[in-house]
Structure 1
């Protein structure tokens, strides 16, 4: 199978890290002579058999004839900047054995990241750490983030070397709440990485 027939991704349906496999190519519905508006390829997840639609981005279609677009479409799988996938790939895998409220919060993080809403994703990661404090130590709801992190620190819930990272999430979350600037993707991904690590360690690996 050609590498043009596979996309390494996190399936937007089941949340597993997989190689999506090309199913077919379809080209329909043309405006004028030069601009096909529905050029896409369908890729199938080998785990859940759901389809993801690869669509060449608009700037690569405009001003090109059908033959050029079809060539670009076939080669786009090697350059994620050239296409969109629908449903979009998740930024991190889903996790097993999470309590219902934490699973719901993690799903919100993943869906925000899927939509490139990185500020919202990072803010939800703070809420997840609050959820963990409530779940693990029966803390009251409605306290501020610092109180939850302090409790987690006192209980030595995190390795000491991780506390500066956790505190960094607090500081960045405060800036995201009060500043006009949005959270850059690269920064948010680091926060998601840390949150994923904590969730996986506490709930998935200890089950």
Structure 2
């Protein structure tokens, strides 16, 4: 682990570390100034800060950008899911990294691909259309009864991202990822918990 040189005590902060994923708090790091402030006051909320994670010792930067405070690297969106097959887990992680990096169109297209993987992994015939795979998941009982509207929304948004010249939004990517996380827990995590018992 790195030992950071000449860190200072700065304004305390809490954040989810983009490296280790832990909820942490700390007051060790560095601060910069934002013109026209020109203040070296480490307690000034207008300054940019670099915090050192007390768990993994990696740096996290908080900068002011267009009136918002942006964390770099940000935390992964969504939650870890246990019991996933290797390819499903790798693609799910890749999607979470896309959302974290602001690559929302890439995330939506990958979410579409992940749903296809999930369907085939659970008995759907390979080589079918995305529409068929989403229908399979719904018809085979992998989607809860009140989730049918989500299925239609996924079909619509994924079609737009794949076949039209539009960019996906953060909301598009995050809503689809919420749905996929729920499916992954329902299809993989909960059954794996029962098997472990």
Change (3 A) 1:203 1:159: same
Provide the alpha-carbon RMSD of the alignment. Answer: 2.7
Partner of 1:51: 58
Of the three residues 37, 50, 59, the one matched with 1:41 is: 50
Q: Do the aligned residues in 2 keep the contact of 1:15 with 1:93 (CA within 8 Å)?
A: no
Q: Do the aligned residues in 2 keep the contact of 1:52 with 1:85 (CA within 8 Å)?
A: no
Return 5+ residue gaps in structure 2 as ranges. Answer: 1-10, 41-47, 193-197
CA offsets per residue over residues 26-81 of structure 1, 9 Å max, x none?
A: 559xxxxx699xx64224164xx242322423678xxxxxxxxxxxxxxxxxxxx2
* 3-state SS in 2 of match to 1:57: strand
1:160 aligns with 2:160: no
Where in structure 2 are the equivalents of 1:183-198 lying within 5 Å? 183-198=168-183
- Equivalent pairs, count: 172
Q: Do the aligned residues in 2 keep the contact of 1:13 with 1:87 (CA within 8 Å)?
A: yes
Partner of 2:26: 21
**What is the CA-CA distance between 1:106 and the residue it aligns to?**
0.5
Q: Distance in 1 between matches of 2:136 and 2:66?
A: 51
CA offsets per residue over residues 87-107 of structure 1, 9 Å max, x none?
A: 222122232221111011101
Partner of 1:129: 115
Q: Do the aligned residues in 2 keep the contact of 1:15 with 1:94 (CA within 8 Å)?
A: no
Change (3 A) 1:152 1:117: same
Partner of 2:195: none
Q: Do the aligned residues in 2 keep the contact of 1:13 with 1:50 (CA within 8 Å)?
A: no
1:85 aligns with 2:92: no
Of the three residues 12, 18, 29, the one matched with 1:5 is: 12
Q: TM-score, normalised by structure 2?
A: 0.74
Q: Distance in 1 between matches of 2:150 and 2:65?
A: 39
* 3-state SS in 2 of match to 1:181: coil
**What is the CA-CA distance between 1:175 and the residue it aligns to?**
0.5
Change (3 A) 1:88 1:165: same
Partner of 1:99: 85
**What is the CA-CA distance between 1:178 and the residue it aligns to?**
2.3
